[in-house]
């Protein structure tokens, strides 16, 4: 069985936490109040995901942190960098010619 990525699980659960209340509210309220149903479903979905999705949320955050660490590469200074550093050091050590 393939491993399901944490971001996919979290996203699907968040969508379900909005879609299910939206469907229920659309069935209960009159059709001309659809925008109130949509806003209420988003608020309910936010509350439910905050309460019940701590584990998947932390798993996604952990995966994002791992990706950030993996993408950071420490570059070794090149010969050009060393020449530039030497020129800057020499210029800083030289006396000011404005006197």
pLDDT in tens, 46-83: 999 999 999 999 999 988 888 766 656 666 667 777 78
DSSP states of 6-64 as a string? Answer: HHHHHHHHHHHHHHHHHHHHHHHS-GGGHHHHHHHHHHHHHHHHHHH-HHHHHHHHHHH
pTM: 0.62
Q: Residue 88's pLDDT band (boundaries 50, 70, 90)?
A: confident
pLDDT of residue 78: 72
Task: Between 80 and 88, name the one with better pLDDT.
Answer: 88
pLDDT of residue 99: 47
Structure tokens at 21: 């209340």
pLDDT greater than 60 at residue 31: yes
**Whole-angstrom distance, CA of residue 4 vs CA of residue 68:** 20
Task: Between 47 and 91, name the one with better pLDDT.
Answer: 47
Structure tokens at 92: 């800083």
| Buried residues in 51-74 as b, exposed as e (16+ CB within 10 A) | eebeebbebbeeeeeeeeeeeeee
pLDDT of residue 96: 52
């Amino acid at each position: 069985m393939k491993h399901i990525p944490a971001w996919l699980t979290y996203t699907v659960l968040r969508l379900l936490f909005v879609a299910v209340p939206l469907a229920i509210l659309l069935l209960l309220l009159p059709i001309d109040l659809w925008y109130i149903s949509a806003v209420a479903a988003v608020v309910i979905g936010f509350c439910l995901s905050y309460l019940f999705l701590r584990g998947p949320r932390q798993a996604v955050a952990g995966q994002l942190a791992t990706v950030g660490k993996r993408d950071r590469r420490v570059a070794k200074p090149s010969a050009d960098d060393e020449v530039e550093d030497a020129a800057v050091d020499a210029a800083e050590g030289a006396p000011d010619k404005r006197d």
